[in-house]
Amino acid sequence: MQTLNRYFYSIYKSAYPSGQRRKNRITPAGQVVIGAAVLSAALGLDTTRSATYQLFTLLSATLAVAFLFSRVFRARFSVTRTLPPFATAGEKMTYSVTIRNLTLKKQSNLLIQEVPTFGYPTYEEFLSAREPGEAKRNRWDQAVKYYRFEWLMEQHTRIVPREHPLPEIGANSYLNTYLELEPKRRGFLELAGISIKRIGPLGLFKAALTLPQPDRLLILPKRFPLPPVQLPGSRKHHAGGVALASSVGNADEFRTLREYRPGDPMRRLHWKSVAKTGNLIIRENEDEYFVRHALILDTFIDRPYSQAFETAVSIAASFACTIDTQESMLDLIFVGDRAHCFSFGRGVDHTSKMLEILACVSPCSDKPFSTLFPLIKEHAARLSGCICILQAWDDNRKELVRLLTERSIPVKILVMTDTEIETPVDPVHFIHTGHPEKDLARL
């Protein structure tokens, strides 16, 4: 069985690109003619009882001529695209493309289309992943796993590029135009090139030239509108004060000068005093108190492709854009290859950096949920409040919340669910993955 699975995987992977190219080169009219030719062939098998075979002959000849004409496309072009720094999943983006006609003949009746790089699932994913509703398929489909492979390819697809018509391009001249893409999923979008097509004379097939133009674009997570969220908690003392928070807090006042002690950070040297005395002199400031919130993202989920996880990432991105980090600091805490904590706020880093991190975060299935606990305990004393975005409401998650509340840290808990829960469990807010905007509006 293992050998069969590997054989099916290799066949699907090798056949997928050519299948996509064939699909992109047939016009809607061509698909109708091909369907009619197949139907007439089936109905005209017995030539003594039906003349349908004559229709099959005519349609087949038409398709053959149209296909031969579509193979002839001797134009030459060069293209340059100008991509924005980021795009957002679910939102249309527009960018400019410059096309140059390198021939001495004007070119018309053209189409342009992006060519993305195919992201294939690994063999391990092919074996372990389960297509939604796969258990309801017949035994043959479950054995060959074709629909599973198609579903996995859809999960790896960042965009579905569409064709854009081009105006006429004069001989040896330039054309500036705009293309529109709508990314489907967060992560890095790899673009291999740009395809310029011409519809054949019979309108059944398209000739195509693919111009290599590799590029990379980061797709940020989708964000949801949030109501004004009042995060509880008070300002707390932070060692390192102003140097760490860059004036976010209660004070930025000079306190005293003293001699250098081993271990003092060099950035606190008072250079004027050093120049006057010839000794190392340290400047001390007033202690700093400011608000610091934690955003804990639960990445512990068994399924590699989960709508609940994507919704959780989008909600985390929404909070990152809503919380005012000009007057506070925000720590993003999650587990990937290891436990991570990234700090954002004035003088430390910007919200856009947090969105970049969330664009690439992936589920964690090989570590226990308790992996989070040491990192939470380490940062708990500095936190003014905490937002927990969880994948379930079980004993492990309840233990995390208990750990925070025992340290008198106010928490706001959001739990992903795919079922309707009529009675909330205070202070837990259940977010349905089918309509997260509706549930978030009630926060």
Domain match, 94 and 19 both: yes
Spell out where 28-72 has E strands.
Answer: none
**pLDDT computed for residue 176 by the predictor:** 94
Residue 235, domain member (yes or no): no
Residue 162 falls within a domain, yes or no?
yes
Three-state secondary structure string covering 107-164: ECCEEEEEEECCCCCCHHHHHHCCCCCHHHCCHHHHHHCHHHHHHHHHHHCCCCCCCE
Mark whether 407 and 336 lie in a shared domain. Answer: yes
Q: Is residue 127 included in any domain, yes or no?
A: no
Q: Is residue 12 part of a domain?
A: yes
Cis peptide before 427 (omega within 30 of 0): yes
Residue 162 Cα distances to 115, 182, 254, 332, angstroms:
10, 10, 61, 36
> Last residue of a domain, which of 285, 309, 333?
285
393 and 312, same domain (yes or no)? yes
- Give yes or no: residues 371 and 420 share one domain: yes
Query: Where among 197, 220, 243 does a domain terminate?
Result: 220
CATH (domain of 7): 2.60.40.10
pLDDT at position 232: 59
**pLDDT for 276:** 83
What was the pLDDT predicted at 306?
86
Residue 249: the pLDDT is: 40
Which two three-digit tokens encode residue 234? 């008070």
- What residues make up the domain containing 280? 252-285
Q: How far apart are CA 85 and CA 97, in angstroms?
A: 15
pLDDT at residue 100, rounded to an integer: 95
Closest CA to 219 of 310, 342, 343, 122: 310
Shared domain for 166 and 216, answered yes or no, is yes
In a domain, 150, yes or no: no
Look at residue 442 in the predicted model and tell me its pLDDT. Answer: 82
pLDDT at 251: 42
Taking the C-alpha atoms of residue 145 and residue 126, their distance in angstroms, rounded to an integer, is: 8
Does 269 share its domain with 338?
no
- Flag whether 86 is in a domain: yes
Q: Within 13 Å of residue 267, how many CA atoms lie on the same side as its CB?
A: 6
**pLDDT for 353:** 83
Could you tell me if 300 and 275 lie in one domain? Answer: no
Question: Do 297 and 363 belong together in one domain?
Answer: yes
Which residues, in sequence order, are bridge partners of residue 177?
Answer: 97
Spatial separation of the C-alpha atoms in residues 112 and 202, rounded to whole Å:
19
Position 52 in a domain: yes
Residues 295 and 336 in one domain: yes
Q: What is the DSSP letter of 187?
A: E
In a domain, 295, yes or no: yes
Domain boundary among 200, 220, 240: 220
Residues 78, 215 within the same domain: yes
In tens digits, the chain (443 residues) has pLDDT values of 678 888 899 999 999 888 888 888 898 999 999 999 988 888 877 777 777 878 888 999 999 999 888 877 888 999 999 999 899 999 999 999 999 999 999 998 899 999 999 888 899 889 888 888 888 899 898 899 999 999 999 888 889 889 999 999 999 999 999 999 999 999 999 999 999 999 888 889 999 899 999 999 999 999 998 887 766 555 554 544 444 444 444 444 555 677 887 767 777 788 888 888 888 888 766 555 567 888 999 999 887 788 899 999 999 999 888 876 555 778 888 887 778 888 776 545 567 888 889 999 988 888 888 888 988 888 888 888 899 999 999 999 999 999 998 888 888 899 999 887 765 666 788 999 888 998 888 87
The angle subtended at Cα 92 by Cα 89 and Cα 97, nearest 5°, is: 120
> Which pLDDT belongs to residue 202?
87
Q: Which of 412, 415, 419 is nearest to 294 (CA)?
A: 412
What integer pLDDT is reported at residue 193 of this predicted model? 93
Other beta carbons within 10 angstroms of residue 159's beta carbon come to 19
If asked whether residues 52 and 88 sit together in one domain, one would say yes
Structural domains of the chain, count: 3
Domain holding 369: CATH number? 3.40.50.410
Instruction: Count the Cβ atoms, other than its own, within 10 Å of residue 108.
Output: 11
pLDDT at 397: 92
CA atoms of 100 and 76, how far apart (whole Å): 9
Per-residue model confidence (pLDDT) at position 56: 87
Asked whether the whole model's pTM tops 0.85, one would answer: no
Residues 13 and 40 in one domain: yes
